[in-house]
Structure 1
Amino acid sequence: MNVLFVLGLLALACATSEAKLLKYPKNYVNSIIEGRVVGGRNATEGEVPYQVSLQTFYGYHICGGAIIDKDWIATAAHCLANRYPSDVFVATGTIEWEWPNATYASRTFYSHCRYNKPASHNDIALIHLNSSIVFNEKTQPITLPTEQMTDGDEVILTGWGSTELYGDTPDKLQLVKLKYMSHQKCKEMYDNDPDVDVGHMCTFTQRGEGACHGDSGGPLVSGGKLVGLVNWGMPCAIGYPDVHASPYFFRDWIRRVMSGNSKCVV
């Protein structure tokens, strides 16, 4: 596809992790749309109880994730690249990442066996926790999808990603309502870029609404189901779809790993 230049390993990215390279189209301009998440609002307490913040030992937010079971977190594989389980903690039950209701240590990471083969594909991972999450009104799991989505379905994106390109992490969780975009339309908007794989799902509404760096690994929910995990896009909300891992596509892999079978099945 047409690209002006490529910047760093940041791509809707967790700081210092391997990530999808940011792509800039030829019509990219320096004036970045400002907003929330981008283009959203502050979430309210208990509104998205499945949301978690992945944090370093020192308490810095690096990525988002979703509770899918009392012992398991779903996120993007690039959020965990070059990290050890002992370095990543999961903060739950809060809309302020600095003030979690509870924090859990990671036992093991399971990145998809075909992550980044080829580049940007299979960007999904599971975290097995050291201890089970205690559920309450602010902390609950989200279920996996059981059917394909329809073009135009409403999708809720939440995260602590920057509200503008290279901006600071907001204190409060941001929420924006987007629309599911069919795979064919998404591929067309990206000039058939091979980085938009069958394991991805896309969202798009308009310029000024979408994901940004720090939202990586975070949940996209539709109809009460986890339909996406933030992967990559053109930063940030400049008029192109955001591209996410599809839990529907990877549901068999997720179930196998959670049942104790982590053998690579391509």
Structure 2
Amino acid sequence: MRAPLTTIPALGLLLAMAQAAPTTTPLKASSFGRIIGGSKVNGRPYPFAVALSVVSKGTLGLCGGSLISDRYVLTAAHCLTDRQSGTPISASAVTAGVGSNSVKQASVYLIRKVSVHPDYDYTKLRNDIALLRLEKAVKLNGGTRVVALANSQIKDGDVLLAVGWGKTSNTGRVTDDLRQVEITVGPTGDCHAADSDFTSQNGPQLCAAHNEGHDTCQGDSGGPLLYNNGRTYQLAGLTSYGRNPGSTTADCGTNTVAAFYTRPAYYVDWIARTTGITKQRLLGQA
């Protein structure tokens, strides 16, 4: 599973963030790993990418997210819920780093509200999607923008782009820099073999199997999987989990693992109801 990275003491970082003034104090990044394969991001091609810090039971969880308005971040539900009960965590346990490829340079925003999809199933990671309402609106500019949801039909063989600060290998290496990696979608049959509930790339999930050496990993959860429509990047998926048929483990970046992503456009009605943003605006049609 592309779970939050939750293996380090969080006290020092928690104190620093708790005292931080939103939009001015940089988010420390001593525990962030990177995406597997791919390359470091130069410039600001993904100005909507958000780094999330989640404090739970004395450890710091690391996830990604996407800015869909000046007040809302879209991410995975499993980043914001207790692993044993599926209960949403407190908004005060989460902070969002916005506006930079470097976590150290990102501006920290506090969270007003955590909204987890009402049908989220923490045992199977179904409906693995959640929203964060920021305490203060983000100032949008050339380096900080929102992303629209991709409503295009995705098919096997399409190449999408995953972005994140997650681990670069199954052992991981500390880094501060946003990375990108190409992910080839499908084959649907192999994805179904890994998870029998999966039947289509245009339902509630997307899936990519056999992307050896190119993958998302722990710390990337909730982060964006992007579709290029020829003009701009759109949000096609949220990093959710990996599954290896016939095995109890699912190491990142191996040829036998299928990676699953929540498809935000499938949930556009829920997102619109929760945020008050019109469907047309969410889909980039307004």
TM-score normalized by the length of structure 1: 0.79
Q: Percent identity?
A: 30
Q: Flag structure 1 segments of 5+ consecutive residues without an equivalent.
A: 1-10, 18-34, 261-266
Q: Structure 1 residues 47 and 114 mapped into 2: Cα distance closer, same or farther (>3 Å)?
A: same
1:65 counterpart letter in structure 2: G
Q: How does 1:121-136 map to 2 (within 5 A)?
A: 121-136=126-141
Deviates more, 1:175-184 or 1:142-151: 175-184
Give the unaligned 5+ runs of structure 2: 8-32, 83-88, 243-249, 278-286
State the one-letter code of the partner of 2:43. E
Letter in 2 for 1:69: S
Asked whether the equivalents of residues 36 and 253 of structure 2 are also in contact (C-alpha less than 8 Å), the reply is: yes
What's the TM-score, normalizing by structure 2?
A: 0.73
Partners of 1:237 and 1:255 lie apart in 2 by: 34
1:252 to 262, 265, 269: 269
- For the residue of structure 2 that corresponds to 1:136, the secondary structure is coil
Match of 1:253, SS state, is helix
* Pairwise CA distance, 1:45: 2.7
Cα RMSD after superposing both structures = 2.6
Q: CA deviation at 1:118?
A: 5.7
| Conserved? CA contact 1:148–1:248, under 8 Å | no
Question: In the TM superposition, what whole-angstrom CA distance separates every residue of 1:24-79 from its partner, at most 9, and x where no partner exists?
Answer: xxxxxxxxxxx962111001131211100002479966100001111110000010
Q: Residue 191 of structure 2 aligns to a residue in which SS?
A: helix
Q: Does 1:77 align with 2:77?
A: yes
Q: Could you tell me how far apart the structure 2 residues matched to 1:59 and 1:72 are? A: 25
User: How far apart are residue 111 of structure 1 and its match?
Assistant: 0.5
2:150 maps to 145
Structure-2 residue corresponding to 1:20:
none
Aligned to 1:230: 239
Q: Is the 8 A contact 2:34 2:164 kept in 1?
A: no
- 2:186 maps to a residue whose letter is M
* Equivalent position to 1:51, from 49, 52, 56: 49
Tell me how far apart the structure 2 counterparts of residues 42 and 166 of structure 1 sit (CA, whole Å).
19
User: What's the CA shift string for 1:179-201, capped at 9, x where partnerless?
Assistant: 2225444213x1x4347894211
- Which residue matches 1:207? 212
**C-alpha distance in 2 between matches for 1:48 and 1:150:** 23
Aligned pairs for 1:1-266 (under 5 A) are 11-16=1-6, 37-56=35-54, 62-82=62-82, 83-100=89-106, 102-116=107-121, 119-181=124-186, 183-188=188-193, 190=194, 192-194=195-197, 198-204=203-209, 206-223=211-228, 224-233=233-242, 234-239=250-255, 240-259=257-276
User: Which protein has the bigger helix share?
Assistant: 2
Q: How many residues align?
A: 230
Q: 1:140, 1:59 → 2: CA distance?
A: 30
Change (3 A) 1:59 1:95: farther
